Amino acid sequence: MKDIMGMMKAASEMKGKMEALQAELAEMVIEGSAGGGLVNVSLSGKGEMKGLKIDPSLFKEDEVEVLEDLIIAAHNDAKSKAEKEMQERMGELTSGLPIPPGMNLPF
């Protein structure tokens, strides 16, 4: 019975830490870039686009497709960095817990 109470307490503490982490991630801003910094995208830790900066040299009518590709690449770069940051922080939060391999949090 003592172990169950300990597990319940640990689960309750984990829930509080998870909520704090999610709030922190929502406030975090991660930047990604493409084209050697010609296009920059800012995302929240939850993947919401917060900002977009485009170098004026890209505003040429015949280079619209290049600009579109660079925006997508910058967005993907920022999203990848945000996901990596989230995984690292979740790893720190869940270290020491007996979580089966392959089980990802949050569910």
- Domains of the chain with CATH codes: 2-94 (3.30.1310.10)
Q: What is the pLDDT of residues 36-66, one digit of tens each?
A: 999 998 888 777 888 888 888 888 888 788 8
Neighbour count for residue 16 (Cβ, 10 Å)? 9
Q: What is the pLDDT of residues 59-92, one digit of tens each?
A: 888 878 888 888 889 888 888 888 888 888 877 7
DSSP 43: E
Entry pTM: 0.58
Q: Mark out the alpha helices in the chain (DSSP H runs).
A: 2-27, 64-94
Could you tell me the CA-to-CA distances from 32 to 18, 77, 86, 97 in Å, in that order? 25, 5, 15, 32
